A and B are shown apart, each in its own frame.
Chain A
Amino acid sequence: MDYNLNTVQDTTQKKKSTLGSLKTLIGSMVEEKRILLSAFIAMLITAILNLIGPVIIGYTIDNYIQTKQYQGVLMFSGILLIMFIIALAAGYIQTKLMGTVGQRMLFTLRNTVFNKIQELPVEFFNQNKAGDLISRINNDTDKINQFFSQSLMQFVRSILIMIGAAIFLLSINLPLGAAALSPALILWVFTKFVSPWVKKRNGKNLKSLGDLSSEIQESLNNFKVIVAFNRRDYFRKRFGEANRNNYNTAINAGVANNLFMPVYSFFANMGQMIVLTYGIYLIATHNFTIGLLISFIAYVSSFYNPLRQMASLWANFQIALAAWDRILKILNMENNMELMEVATENKSESLLSFNNVSFSYPNGTEVLHQINFNLERGKTYAFVGPTGGGKTTTASLIARLFDPSKGEVLLDGCDIRSYKPEDRTTKVGFILQDPFLFSGTIRENILYGNQTYQDFENGKLKQIFKDTGLETLLERFDNGLDTMVDISGDGISLGQKQLIAFMRALLRKPDLLILDEATANIDTVTEKLLDEILQKLPTTTTKVIIAHRLNTIANADEIFFVNTGNIIRAGSLNEAVKMLMHNKAAS
C-alpha cells in the first residue's frame, strides 16, 4: 500500500471519501451555524449603520446647520452617537464571533488530522517524513484558518454589496447597467481560468514548506553526527537548498496571488469608462440625463470597490484550497490493516502459529518465505540468526505492526487480524529494538498506556515493583519514578532506555512477550538480573527472545534459526551455534 503523501494518486474511489471527509468537517461546523448567523447579523448592522452615518450628517447640514438651528444639530449628534455605540457593539460581536469560529475550526481540523494519523499503521510513518507531517498539521491548517477567520465575512459582505449594487444599477437603466457590469463578466471568466493555476502554485509552495520543515527536522535530530563529522556545512547546504526552493516557489505563488488585484482594478476602471462613454452616448441620444449619469458613476464604484476587495480575498481562498488539498491527502489515507470478521475458532494448543506466512515490502521484495511455526503457552523461544535475516520482521508480524502478504498468523487459534487492537495489544507485548521514550517522567514512560496501574500512587507502585523484581532496575535512576526524560536529551543512555522499555512491557503482563534485541545495550550483570525477572513471570507467559548474543538465549526451550527469510527449528543451542557459524556468509 502506498502511504507516501507526495506520490499517492487520487483515485475515483478516493474522490468519494473526499466528499465524505468534507462532510465530516462541515458536520463539525453545524453547531457553529447559529454563531455564524449571529456574526452575519452583526456584520449587517455595522454595514448599514456605516452607510446611514453620512446620510444623517448630510441631512443635519441641510436642515439644521444651514438654517442655524443648533438644537437640531445637537439632537442628530445624539442620534449619531447612539448609532456609533451600536456599531461599536456590533463590530465587537462580529469580530469576536468570527474569530472564535475560526479558532474552533482550526482546533477541530488539527484534531481531525492528528486523529487520522493515529489511525494509520506504522508503514505510513516509514513512508512519510516527520517534518512534512508537522507542516501539514500546523501550517496548512493555519492557512485555512486565516481564510475563515479573516476573509470569509468580508467575502460574504463583498458579495452581498455587489449583488445589491448590481440590482440597483440594472434597475436604473438596464442597457447602461448591463454595459457597466460587462467587465465583471470578463473578470469572472478570467478568475475561473486563472484560479486552478494559482492554486497549483500555492500547492507547490506549501509542499516546499513541508520539505523545508523535513530538512530542519532531520538535521536537528541528527545533529550529533553533523557535529562529530564536522559537517556543519552539510546542514547549511541542505537547508540552503530547501530554503532557496521555498523562496522560488513562494515568489511564484506570490506573483500569481497578486495578479488578481491589478487585473480587477483595471477592469473596474474599464467599467467606469464604459459607463462614462456609453452614458454620454445615451445622453446624446436623449435617453439619459447628466444628473443620473453622475449618480450612476458613483453607484458603479460601489459595485467595483468590493470587487477589488474580492481580489485579495480570492487569493487567500486559493491558498486555503491548496492547503485543504494537502490535508485531504492525509484524511483520505485508509488503514489497510482492517479488522477481520471473527472467524470460526479452531481450538488450538498453540498460543501463536504462523501458517505459510510470507511477507513483502511495499516495493515487492519478499523478505519472509512461507513460514510455519507454533509457539506453545508458557515456553521460551529464541530466534537467532544473522542481521537482516528477518527476525524483526517476524516479530512485527506477531505484534501485527504489519500484515503478512500471504498466509495467516493465528493468535489463540484465531486470525490475528480478527482481534480488536485493544485485545491484541493486551495479549502481545513487544519490546522494540530501538526503545522510544516520551518526554516526561520515568513513571509516565513506564506506565505509558497501562490501564491497570495508571492511577496508582507511587507508594503502591513501589510495592508492585518489589513484587515483580523490577525494584532494583528502578533504583538505577537518580530520582526514581520522578526522573525526567527528554527525548532530545542524552541525559539517559540507550541501556537505560532499554531498561525502561523492559519495565514498561513487563508491567503490562502480556501472554506473549517479544524481546527484540531488547537488552543489547545493557551490561551483562544487569542482563542476568533481567533474566531472573523474566523467570518470575507467570508460567503461562510465552517468551520470544530475538538475539544474536547467545548468552541471552541459553534458557530457551526451543531455538529457531532465522536467515534469508526462512525459519528453521534449530534444536539445541549447540546446533544453533553451528548454524550461525556456517551461515555467516549469508548475512
Chain B
Amino acid sequence: MDKEHKNKKDKANIFGLLKAYRGQVILLIILTLVGNGVNLVIPQIISHAIDSFTEGNYVLKTAIIQFLVAATIIFVFSYLQTIIQTFASERVAFDLRKKLSDKISMQSFSFIQKSNPSKLLTNLTSDMDSVKMFVAQAVTSIVSSIVMIIGTCILLFLINWRLALPVFAMIPIIGVAFYLVLKKVRVLFKRGREVIDWLNKVINESILGSAIIRVINSQQLEYKKFLSANTEAKEIGIGIVTLFATLIPVITFVANLATLTILALGGHFVISGTLSLGDFAAFNSYITLLIFPIIVIGFMSNIIAQASASYERIYKVLKAPDTKDLGLVEKSLQGAIELKNISVLYDGKPALNDVSFSIKSGSQTAIIGPTAAGKSQVLYLLTGLIKPDSGGVSFDGTLIDDYKKEMFHKQIGFVFQDSVMFNLSLRENIAFSDTVSDEDLQKALDTAELTEFVNGLPNKLDTLVSERGTSLSGGQKQRIMLARALALNPKILLLDDFTARVDRQAEQKILCNVMANYPNLTLISVTQKIAPVKSFEQIILLMEGEVIATGRHKDLLETCPEYVQIYNSQLSTSHYETA
C-alpha cells in the first residue's frame, strides 16, 4: 500500500520516509517538547527560592530537593530523547539498507552492471549516513522550532497585531532565501554524491589493478586520476559551503531586522501612546525566542538538503522495476537445449546475430571460434544472465523464462572463464548453494582433482580464501570453480574456456571424471582447442556472432574451411599434447 502511494507521487520525499516510523518520531517530539518545557522550571525554582528568602521562609532542603528533582527529570528526559533519536535514526538506516539490498539482490545481472557497483556502494554507505543524520538531528529540531515559531507568533499577534505584522513579514523573506539557496544546493549535493561514486571507482580500480600498476610503475598516473576526482569533490564542497555561508548570515540578518523593526516601530507606538511600555518589553523578549528557532532551521536546512539528494538517489534504485520470476515450471531438466534466431546487441552492435542450434540431452557440444566471437554470450544466455534482444532459448521445449528460477539454476552448473572467489572458506566457496550435501561435495572435489590439493592444506576445506582468491594459482581457482558447479549435481554443465588455465593432462583426466561421475550430463564446452573435443557429438563454430558451421569433427574437416584453418593452427604442437 505504501509503495502504491509512492508510485503515485513518484517523487522522492524524505519526509515521506518517516511515515513508517510515525510512533517513534512523535515520541521523540513529545520528549523534546517536555524536556524543553521542564527546562523553563529551573528559573522558576530560582526566583521562588529568592522570593521565599526575602520573605523569610526559605528552607534550604526544599530548594535543593526541587532543584535535584527538576535536574534529574531533565537528565532522564534528554537522555531518553537522545537514545530514542539514536535508535530511530539507526533503525531507519537499517531498514532502508535492507530494503535497498533486497531490491538489489532481486535485480538482473545487467542491472548491476548498468547501475555501476561503485554507485550502489555509495548508496548503501554515504547516502545512508545523510539520511541517518536527517532523522537523528533534523526532525526533532525542526518540529520543535516550528512549534516555538508558531507559539511566539500567536503570542506576538495577541499582544499587538499592528507591531506583529511587520515582524511576520520577515518569514516570507526567509522562505524565499531558503528556496533560492536550497534549489541551487540540491544540484550541488547531487553532483557531490556523484563525485563520491567517481572516487569509489578510482580507488576500486587502483586496488583491483594494483599488480599491473606496480608492474608498470604508474602510481603517479593513478594519483592523477584520483586528484582530478578529489579536486572536483573539493570544488563542489566549497560551492556548498559558500551557499550556506550566504544563507545562514542572511537569515540571522533578517531576524535581526525584525528586532530593529520592533525598536523603531514599537518605539514609535510607545511614544505615540498606542503601545504600553510593558507590552513593548514583552515583545522584545519574545522576539529572541522567535529568532533562535529560525536560525536552527537554517542550520538544519543543510542536513535536509543533503539527505534529500541522497534519498533521491536511493529512491531511484528502490523504484527500479523488479525482475519478477514469472516462471512456474518446476520440472527437472533432461538437457535438450534449443536456441532459435537469437540476437544480442551490445551498444547497438550485434554480439550474436541470428544464432540457432539445438543440443540433444546427454550430449557433448563444443563451441569454438576466435576471440570475441560471442561464445561466452551463448553461455550467458543459457543461464539467463543476459536476455536475447530477439529469439528464444528453450530447455526441453519450454522457454527459459517459464522455468521457476530457483529450480532452474540448481540444475545448471556454470564454470566461468574468469575466477570469481568469495572471501569464505574453501568449503563455502565450493558448496556455494545451500543444498549441497557432503557426498556431493566430495564427489565434486574428486572429479575436479582437488582432493589432494585440499588435503595438503593445513586447514583442509576450512581454509579461508582471501578476497579475489589472491593466494591461489590460476589453475587451482579454475578447478574450484568447476567443483562449485559440479557440487550442484547439475543436469547441464557449461564450461567457459576451462582448458585455458588447466593443463592438457589434468583437463583430460577431469573430463573423464566428469563423464564417469556424472552420466547423462549435457556438456557444453566453450574452448580454443579442438583436440579434446574431437569426439564430441557436436562442434559449433562461431565467428563474429554468427554460426558458421555445426557438426562432428570429421564432417567439419570436410565442409568448413574456417574450421580447417583453426585445426591446422593447432596441428604443429598437438602431437606433444596427445602423446
Contact = CB atoms under 8 A, between A and B. Distances in A.
Whether chains A and B associate is: yes
Given A53-B259, A126-B471, A134-B204, A551 B572 contact: yes
A39 B500 CA distance: 64
A104 B245 contact: no
A119 interface: yes
Given A84-B257, A392-B473, 17 more contacts: A66-B277, A81-B260, A95-B244, A106-B234, A213-B125, A231-B433, A235-B105, A265-B71, A281-B60, A386-B503, A401-B214, A401-B215, A434-B474, A490-B380, A517-B501, A551-B577, A585-B452
28 contacts: A80-B260, A103-B237, A115-B223, A117-B207, A118-B223, A122-B214, A133-B207, A134-B200, A137-B199, A209-B125, A229-B432, A229-B484, A246-B94, A254-B85, A258-B82, A280-B49, A386-B475, A387-B473, A401-B214, A438-B205, A448-B216, A476-B372, A488-B113, A492-B372, A493-B371, A501-B212, A521-B417, A525-B565
B467 A129 contact: yes
Given A84-B260, A229-B488, A525-B370, A247 B94 contact: yes
B434 to A, nearest CB: 8
Interface string B496-520: 0101111111100100000000000
Interface in A91-141: 91-96, 99-100, 102-104, 106-107, 110-111, 114-115, 117-119, 121-122, 124-127, 129-131, 133-135, 137-139
Contacts of A277: 60, 63-64
A103 B308 CA distance: 21
A102 B241 contact: yes
Contact of B230 (A90, A107, A236): A107
Interface stretch (A11-19, A342-350, A422-430, A534-542): A422-430
Interface stretch (A20-28, A155-163, A174-182, A266-274): A266-274
A183 to B, nearest CB: 11
Interface stretch (B151-159, B166-174, B248-256, B311-319): B248-256
A152 interface: no
A459 interface: no
B233 A107 contact: yes
B349 A551 contact: no
B481 to A, nearest CB: 9
Interface string A539-575: 0000000001111001000000000000000000110
Contacts of B90: 247, 250-251, 254
B230 A212 contact: no
A265 B217 contact: no
Interface string B447-491: 001001100000000000011001111111011000010001000
Contacts of B416: 224-225, 228
A491 B346 contact: yes
A160 B396 CA distance: 81
Interface in B310-368: 346-347, 349, 368
A95 B230 contact: no
B75 interface: yes
B383 A228 contact: yes
Interface stretch (B14-22, B178-186, B406-414): B406-414
Interface in B42-61: 42, 46, 49-50, 53-54, 58, 60
B376 interface: yes
A138 B129 CA distance: 12
Interface string B399-436: 00000011011101010111111110000000011100
A265 B36 CA distance: 12
Interface in A271-300: 272-273, 276-277, 280-281, 283, 290, 293-294, 297
B559 interface: no
Nearest to B449: A587
B79 interface: yes
A230 interface: yes
Given A84-B260, A224-B385, A68 B246 contact: no
A80 B263 contact: yes
Given A297-B46, A550-B576, A103 B238 contact: yes
Among B68, B105, B126, B434, residue most surrounded by chain A Cβ atoms (within 10 Å):
B105
A232 B573 contact: no
Interface string A353-394: 000000001000000000000000000000000111100100
A236 B204 contact: no
A388 B409 CA distance: 31
A394 B501 CA distance: 17
A216 B121 contact: yes
A494 interface: yes
Given A53-B259, A149-B241, A225 B497 contact: no
Contacts of B346: 491
Contact of A554 (B85, B104, B376, B572): B572
Contact of A236 (B101, B263, B349, B372): B101
A525 B370 CA distance: 7
B102 A236 contact: yes
B453 A425 contact: no
A580 B120 contact: no
Interface in A227-258: 227-236, 239-240, 243-244, 246-247, 250-251, 254-255, 257-258
A519 B325 CA distance: 39
Contact of A436 (B208, B246, B433): B208
A337 to B, nearest CB: 10
A217 B85 CA distance: 30
Interface in B108-152: 108-109, 112-113, 116-117, 120-121, 124-126, 129, 136
A234 B435 CA distance: 13
A449 interface: yes
Contacts of B201: 439
B366 to A, nearest CB: 13
Contacts of A549: 499, 503-504, 529, 577
Contacts of A504: 216
Closest 8 CB pairs of A and B: A387-B475, A99-B241, A254-B86, A495-B371, A91-B249, A551-B573, A230-B409, A449-B218
B196 interface: yes
Contacts of A137: 199, 203
A77 interface: yes
Contact of B573 (A254, A554, A584): A554
A525 B566 contact: yes
A433 B474 contact: yes
Interface in B218-243: 218-219, 221-223, 226-227, 230-231, 233-234, 237-238, 240-242
B566 A401 contact: no
Given A222-B420, A577-B579, A526 B217 contact: no
A61 B267 CA distance: 8
Interface string B510-536: 000000000000000000110000000
Contact of B371 (A247, A257, A522): A522
A115 B452 CA distance: 43
B570 A243 contact: no
A221 interface: yes
A373 B105 CA distance: 51
Given A235-B105, A240-B101, A273 B67 contact: yes
Nearest to A508: B216
B432 A522 contact: no
Interface string A297-323: 100000000000000000000000000
Contacts of A399: 214-215
B248 A95 contact: yes
A487 B234 contact: no
